[in-house]
Structure 1
Amino acid sequence: MISFLNQLMPNVFQYYKELGQALVDTLYMVSVSGIIGAIIGIPAGVALVVTRKGNILENKMVYSILGTVVNILRAIPFVILLTAITPVTRFIVGTTIGTIGAIVPLIFAVAPFIARQIESTLLEVDSGVIEAAKSMGSSPMEIIFRVLILEGLPGVVYALTIAIINLISYSAVAGTVGGGGLGDFAIRYGYQYFKTDIMVVTIIILLIIVNIVQFIGEFLMKKLSH
């Protein structure tokens, strides 16, 4: 079996150490940027909901400014964003290449995406439940944590799942411009040297990761649904 696989994918076995490191780099980039992006994006999404007109903390200025920033960042294609914030990336982490250099633009890309996903999810929470909480004297913070987030938790989990899947895609794009990870491995050892087996195996690995994330996300969403 090993002999057959070696004949089928000779280049993959030749660069298996580099492939393993590329996989670790991708998981590292996605994990770090995903966690930081969620820390920024979830509160931003909640703020977009509670400060909109007619909601518990209505504030037109905050909603307009936050919504505009989110819209601008979401409108920029990731490849352009990578280069556009190069000075910011260099200022924050001291480099614009490798996995460390890719994390900053990944955060800039995923945080606004999460914010809009969270906003969309929380807007689906039954307004009657919110009104009931207000009538019982709940404070805005109590409504946010005990009603909005708790009622919308399955949707929040699903939103984060989609965000992570997008991050995997973004990380592969980052690899094409020196960001490291599986994208970099595929370009460096596969595309540039016309080694099709490396390209195919990289794609298969990315598909497996995406499907695992999707499965876990859907499992958690079903467990949290009520």
Structure 2
Amino acid sequence: MTTVLLVRHGRTIANATAVLAGWTPGVTLDETGQAQAAKLAERLSVVPLSAVVASPLERCQQTAQAVVGDQAGELKIHTDDRLGECRYGDWTGRPIKELAKDPLWKVVQQHPSAVVFPGLEGEALAATQARAVAAIREWDVRVREEHGPDAVWMACSHGDVIKSVLADALGQHLDLFQRIVVDPCSVSVVRYTETRPFVVRMNDTGGDVSALLPPKKRRRKTRAHESDAVVGGGAGAEATPRPAGQ
């Protein structure tokens, strides 16, 4: 089964000043965000990425470019609008402390599946999740078909978008996605199988990534049981890089 690394972009000035950037153009990584992206690139340098897909917004493109680095000639960054930030409509560009006083804020916190952001360009959070999950699953199939079942690829997106994808992978209702934390330049990992996704890690901002390397050899009997969860918990990633069914 292929492995997708869900990477949130590095910190921006909008993040640091608590402003909801949304699709505002020109929002780029600040100095801290650039340092985060450089650290992430160093961490992932040992992982052989087969594909990189990113939101069209500058902060994600910058983060993805940092990870690709010297491989830019060989590893193209694909852009997919479906991984773009939620369209917050009239909330875009406004301070979080101001938005927290809006009656819609409580709905966003407690019942996000019912939220449609105000204005002509406002999007429903449920629609954001639907497009993002569709994009991730479609790219995962494409990567597997082009690079094989052990391929590792990266999708660079935004906090709410990644949270919604993780909620889907966990089998959680969207109304529970606010329980998930996705920090700037964090890595969350999902492996999709024919019957279920496996969430391997979430909001990892500094852990060892060696367990994400594809196995040197793939035993045929593993392929038949890769959708099975290990009864009793298994031996862990160090003992079995592909724990499902081992």
Same fold per superposition (TM over 0.5) = no
TM-score scaled by length of structure 2: 0.29
Structure with the greater alpha carbon radius of gyration = 1
Greater share of strand:
2
Greater share of helix:
1
